[in-house]
Structure 1
Amino acid sequence: MTPQWVPTEADVDGARVTDFARFAEQRTGSAFPDYRSLWQWSVDDVEGFWAALWDYFELGERSEEVLQHPEMPGAQWFPGTTVNYVDQVVRNARTDRPAIVSVGEGRPDREVSWQELLERTAAFAEKLRAGGVGRGDRVVGYLPNIPEAVIAFLATASIGAVWSACGQDYSAKAALDRLGQLEPTALVAADGYQFAGKYRDKRDDVAALRKGLPTVRATFTMDDLAARSANPLDTVAVEFGHPLWILFSSGTTGLPKGIMHGHGGVIVEHLKAVALQSDIGRDDTFFWYTSPSWMMWNFQVAGLLVGATIVCYDGSPNAPQPDALWDITARIGATVLGTSPGYVLGCIKADAHPSKTHDLSALRTVGITGSSLPPSSSLWLRDRVGEHVQVASISGGTDVVSAFIGGVRTVPVWPGELSAPYLGVALDAWDEAGNPVRGEVGELVITKPLPSMPVAFWNDPDGSRYHDAYFDVYPGVWRHGDWITLTDHGSVIVHGRSDSTLNRHGIRMGSADIYQAVEGLPEVVEALVIGAEQPDGGYWMPLFVVLADGVDLTDDVRGRINDVIRTEVSPRHVPDEIIVAPGIPHTRTGKKLEVPVKKLFQGRDAAKVVERSAVDDPALLDWYVTQRRT
């Protein structure tokens, strides 16, 4: 196999990460001739790297001490240093480009200038203060992906309050399961949004949400976010680890965990991830299809930290046609587009040819996250979007509101592989005994702390929930819960979640490998595989498939499914049974519910296995329960 994209000399010379390498060389006296050597320094000298990054981006005064108590969990970064996330946005205000392009279904695109963004942020910050909101108070949003969500977040952060939000695809109950834990002081909500050609009226949900949040003293609407202030935006300096926002885990079992990240940790991590890894800067238009419920919304807002234009889109990726995201990308001249493997697969099955039907000459990078991107889909992006386009798959999560692994402008792209570990990420693959493994599947671990690791979980006073989430397997080492393989050319292959690993006859297998093979068939819309240990010591590995319209599970179709698994993955991956399903249940951020479905088939109580409000289509769970009983 050969790379599908190789950086040119101009790519390497002009990359921001190359400029940072030169800065680091002058600072350390060492030579960093390539990305691998720069990464090695960044993990060997963690304190030196993060101090250099702070100074490179000229973030202001900082403590001489970079890392206090370096053990995990509990590492303390830049003790005594004060910051505010919003100050870094204000620094990049400009007049020659918009801050935000707002896109929606059935309405003209609208630009929000930097001046308008800051004036509206200042006005809303004044309203929050007048409403009694102060440092440490929680402000929660129930909003679609619109500029007002960005304004509400920035205003909240500017006064030292803590932001948290749910997209309006969540029901009132699902939103309350998350936001209700926080005892918020203020609520910001929209009346509804347009999606897939239909207006979704959310006023009843807003009323239910307001009723379920007794601590809320002030509720703000879109009218409250429209005002502009002539006063300068006044920010409050807070400690490096002061909470910036609270994001939530998927919440498929029990209440979702509230994950707090600090101002300083997010600033340095997002500058690294956006500027150095993604090579996004002042000339870019950054468009990631996302929702305020998902960490990629927070990641896209970070484009403002480097003076880029970001895009807020609150519609469907498939309306009015399957190529809707490519249409928007061409229309607004996006240079970086972020989407998912599922969207790419949908375009493949629709036989889309984006580069023929749209002008994508401005597009430089396609970012991918959510699940593993099959090699075939990666090559489709090369062939149908453009050979000049870098495919930058990333993997990380809500836990660090960033990525551990992804693309970088100076490193080749290999089909189906993530190009490299991110700078500062001491990533490794370990076996059960804690020994590093190479060229074979191991647990993704992080052996040294990162500034954007959670400062705490919400309502976890002794830190036990935080500890058990990441550090209960390898003491003092972050275990993320993914199976990965480190290749001999420095890339990383992600095989799927280790807690849903298939382990048949002692052979561990990743579910992602099966999905890549099966979902490439035109007969199959989507698939879900589980491996359920049986009381008699047996092991049952069924494959649930959603078939395309008009397709039945004939012997011929069953044979094609088994054959593609046998040839593209291995004979060991062939399922014990293929079962036609009406749909595949997901979390609201699109991850398949492999573990809950497995537990259902092992006889666990459905009410204890999964929280229905956290599922995109809760009715599907009833079908799986029925199948278990037959």
Structure 2
Amino acid sequence: MQQPLWTPSPERIAATRMDAFRRFVNQRHALALVDYPALHAWSIAERAAFWQAIVDYFEVRFSQPASQVLIEQPSMPDASWFPGARLNFAEHLLRRRDEHPALVAIAEDGSREVLSHAQLAEHVAGLQRSLRAAGVGPGDRVAAFMPNTWQTLVGMLATASLGATWSSCSPDFGTQGVIDRFGQIEPKVLIACAGYHYAGKQIDLTSKLNEILTQLPSLQQLLVVPYAWPQVQAGDFTSGAKVSLWADFYQPGGEPEFTPVAFDHPLYILYSSGTTGVPKCIVHGTGGTLLQHLKELGLHTDLGAEDRLFYFTTCGWMMWNWLVSGLAVGATLVLFDGSPFHPGAERLLDMVDAESISVFGTSAKYLAALEKAGVRPAQSHRLTGLKSLLSTGSPLSHESFEYVYREIKADLCLSSISGGTDIVSCFALGNPVLPVWAGELQCKGLGMAVEVWDDEGRPLSSGKGELVCTKHFPSMPTGFWQDADGSRFRAAYFERFPGVWAHGDYAEETAHGGLVIHGRSDAVLNPGGVRIGTAEIYRQVEKVETVLESIAIGQEWQGDVRVVLFVRLREGIELTDALQDQIRQTIRANTTPRHVPARIVAVADIPRTISGKIVELAVRNVVHGQPVKNTDALANPDALVLFRNLPALQS
């Protein structure tokens, strides 16, 4: 009989913020909720009371109170949360003002900078004054083309403190990818680094920046952070905007001021991956983002003022926005910019020990790569303070779950989490009071009415279907930029099931109250009319030692669809008939005959988005001779050539 991989002790459960919140709700509402399932059920049935409880528990400060919690129309997306309320996002991230470290910023070259909570506030105050003098105010956009370092965080907080709207891309984005994003939102200020380090290389961005500047006519101020290109001068850039170097633009000191804004005032603009066209500009509101992140970090991640939070992310992925909200519960952030495998596979694990990281976030791909590399952290590292490990980006396989508990740490809450840029948060995630089962996301998030539906819109208690959310939630986007009538926004999420959020994940509920994500709905394979999630195939292929990674698509063939599997093999390995047989047998033995690929093809590389997600749709388009509309969304667009006109797929 299957057993959980980890179960929290009664003492550990009682010490969690999640359990403290359950007791808080019971006392406040004269309830007797005995466990998480009961708490979650209440949070859905009484959403207004639940979100008010989040406000009260985390002592959210409204400069002007709301007239009520929720005004809701019969169907989504029409709803208004905390109407009339006014608050400031940056104020909540800067509440702690002591000398305890607010952040530790580490670069690939080993340089390390620390800012205390008090120093962080002084930097924000100084930059705020200079941005205000440059004309930045509520509704203006400040964009950042920056690595994950402390200057980026100061820039965001100063922007939010003024009621302006923040948007960021990482420096590994292609020129057109940046223009496609920032060109739509017309920023008044651009904060950009002159260079960065990656995989041991020093990369000069000055020429790329000059190309970008020609396409941003709205820009009034360029603020250049030298970073890994210290020789840069303001005169290196040609722009109609004023150009300043970071150190010349402001002086830290004083107290920041906080401009109150409406609950749904635009805080962030994030972007869809853009692999099917120009990226959608997704607008996230101030209050919804704050409440959702307080809930997820404070309760589901059990993060507090004594913790150190790390997430391997760039500023072009929503996990950066999620990471920095750790300041709202007083935690210390550990920021890292660079390759996670330079100079070796244990780089980030070394940081866990050196920086006493208690919550470590990464991608499923990273954990699979550690296992393939034979890394056994439990034997080489202390990992003393590590209490939680978070994984997202793609489904975490059963084998990776088992690897974590076998080779990293046995007493650990391993949380596979799933949500995304669309909601700047999670639908399903971890929980410090629940057991961890292999292959499962532990629970649905509090306040999130998540269900799995069949194609006819009927809820499924078992079996695979579409992940939906049936009730409005505060971190739903306020809309898309330049979508005045909301038609594009509605088409993106509410067309499949009118009035219900369809997230685009192919999922399954489990007997333990958790979820399994089987892949993206638009990448689901359909041989013989049977739907197959690609993650089901990847899980089996990962067991084959000689395969580093894989990608599966459905190829239209002779009036049906056949499964095609592309594999990237270890160096020096060839795709022999014997290896193909091994792969097929592994898949057949653990799934069904329909999962077995009709064709297996070796490729030298697999295309990914800049945030590291493999792009089945782009590969499928190339195989079928269709255009890929926006290759600038890819980290390695040249890899697409490897899938064009393959003889193995012509018969």
TM range (shorter): over 0.9
Change (3 A) 1:196 1:603: closer
Q: Which amino acid aligns with 1:566?
A: R
Residue aligned with 2:111, SS? strand
1:549 equivalent to 2:568? Answer no
Alignment of 1:177-576 (within 5 A): 177-222=180-225, 223-224=245-246, 227-534=250-557, 536-576=558-598
| Residues 148 and 225 in structure 1, CA contact (< 8 A), matched pair in contact too | no
1:32 equivalent to 2:33? Answer yes
Q: Which amino acid aligns with 2:483?
A: D
1:18 equivalent to 2:12? Answer no
Alignment of 1:581-596 (within 5 A): 581-596=603-618
Alignment of 1:165-184 (within 5 A): 165-184=168-187
Distance in 2 between residues matched to 1:570 and 1:301, nearest whole Å: 43
Alignment of 1:87-236 (within 5 A): 87-95=91-99, 97-222=100-225, 223-224=245-246, 227-236=250-259
Offset of 1:225 from its aligned partner? 5.6
Alignment of 1:599-610 (within 5 A): 599-604=621-626, 606=627, 609-610=628-629
1:86 equivalent to 2:90? Answer yes
Distance in 1 between residues matched to 2:535 and 2:25, nearest whole Å: 38
Q: Which amino acid aligns with 1:594?
A: E
Change (3 A) 1:510 1:225: farther
The aligned counterpart of 1:611 is 630
The aligned counterpart of 1:76 is 80
Distance in 1 between residues matched to 2:197 and 2:634, nearest whole Å: 21
| Residues 259 and 454 in structure 1, CA contact (< 8 A), matched pair in contact too | yes
Distance in 2 between residues matched to 1:246 and 1:449, nearest whole Å: 20
Distance in 1 between residues matched to 2:383 and 2:426, nearest whole Å: 26
Residue aligned with 1:438, SS? coil
TM-score by length of 1: 0.97
The aligned counterpart of 2:645 is 626
Q: Which amino acid aligns with 1:211?
A: T
Offset of 1:54 from its aligned partner? 0.8
Q: Which moved more, 1:21-30 or 1:410-419?
A: 21-30
Distance in 1 between residues matched to 2:96 and 2:43, nearest whole Å: 27
Distance in 2 between residues matched to 1:104 and 1:90, nearest whole Å: 24
Distance in 2 between residues matched to 1:174 and 1:391, nearest whole Å: 34
Offset of 1:140 from its aligned partner? 0.4
Offset of 1:229 from its aligned partner? 3.4
| Residues 120 and 225 in structure 1, CA contact (< 8 A), matched pair in contact too | no
Distance in 2 between residues matched to 1:516 and 1:203, nearest whole Å: 42
Offset of 1:519 from its aligned partner? 2.2
Distance in 1 between residues matched to 2:247 and 2:591, nearest whole Å: 52
Distance in 2 between residues matched to 1:105 and 1:215, nearest whole Å: 34
Distance in 2 between residues matched to 1:449 and 1:134, nearest whole Å: 30
Distance in 2 between residues matched to 1:322 and 1:136, nearest whole Å: 43
Offset of 1:65 from its aligned partner? 1.1
Alignment of 1:53-68 (within 5 A): 53-61=54-62, 62-68=65-71
Q: Which runs of 4+ in 1 moved over 6 A?
A: none
Offset of 1:502 from its aligned partner? 1.0
Q: Which moved more, 1:266-275 or 1:126-135?
A: 126-135
Offset of 1:132 from its aligned partner? 1.4
Offset of 1:64 from its aligned partner? 4.0
Offset of 1:172 from its aligned partner? 1.9
| Residues 116 and 228 in structure 1, CA contact (< 8 A), matched pair in contact too | no
| Residues 127 and 155 in structure 2, CA contact (< 8 A), matched pair in contact too | yes
Change (3 A) 1:209 1:326: same
Percent identical among aligned pairs is 40
Gaps of 5+ in 2: 226-244
Distance in 1 between residues matched to 2:112 and 2:11, nearest whole Å: 33
Offset of 1:568 from its aligned partner? 2.1
Offset of 1:516 from its aligned partner? 1.1
Change (3 A) 1:540 1:572: closer
Distance in 1 between residues matched to 2:555 and 2:76, nearest whole Å: 33
| Residues 124 and 225 in structure 1, CA contact (< 8 A), matched pair in contact too | no
Distance in 1 between residues matched to 2:96 and 2:470, nearest whole Å: 34
Residue aligned with 1:246, SS? strand
Offset of 1:456 from its aligned partner? 1.0
Q: Which amino acid aligns with 2:364?
A: P
Residue aligned with 2:106, SS? strand
Residue aligned with 2:531, SS? strand
Q: Which moved more, 1:109-118 or 1:508-517?
A: 109-118
Distance in 1 between residues matched to 2:251 and 2:53, nearest whole Å: 38
Offset of 1:324 from its aligned partner? 1.2
Offset of 1:60 from its aligned partner? 3.0
Distance in 1 between residues matched to 2:83 and 2:556, nearest whole Å: 48
Distance in 2 between residues matched to 1:200 and 1:289, nearest whole Å: 20
Q: Which amino acid aligns with 1:576?
A: A
Offset of 1:69 from its aligned partner? 2.7
Distance in 1 between residues matched to 2:307 and 2:643, nearest whole Å: 45
Q: Which amino acid aligns with 1:396?
A: G
Distance in 1 between residues matched to 2:336 and 2:176, nearest whole Å: 24
Structure 1 vs Structure 2 CA RMSD? 1.3
Question: In the comparison of the two structures, how many residue pairs are matched?
Answer: 625
TM-score by length of 2: 0.94
Q: Which moved more, 1:224-233 or 1:266-275?
A: 224-233
| Residues 151 and 225 in structure 1, CA contact (< 8 A), matched pair in contact too | no
Distance in 1 between residues matched to 2:213 and 2:12, nearest whole Å: 51
Distance in 2 between residues matched to 1:531 and 1:34, nearest whole Å: 43
Offset of 1:328 from its aligned partner? 1.0
Offset of 1:246 from its aligned partner? 0.2
Distance in 2 between residues matched to 1:435 and 1:514, nearest whole Å: 26
| Residues 407 and 419 in structure 1, CA contact (< 8 A), matched pair in contact too | yes
| Residues 147 and 170 in structure 2, CA contact (< 8 A), matched pair in contact too | yes
Distance in 1 between residues matched to 2:109 and 2:495, nearest whole Å: 50
Distance in 2 between residues matched to 1:493 and 1:355, nearest whole Å: 27
Q: Which moved more, 1:79-88 or 1:215-224?
A: 215-224
| Residues 270 and 283 in structure 2, CA contact (< 8 A), matched pair in contact too | yes
Gaps of 5+ in 1: none
| Residues 622 and 640 in structure 2, CA contact (< 8 A), matched pair in contact too | no
Residue aligned with 2:325, SS? helix
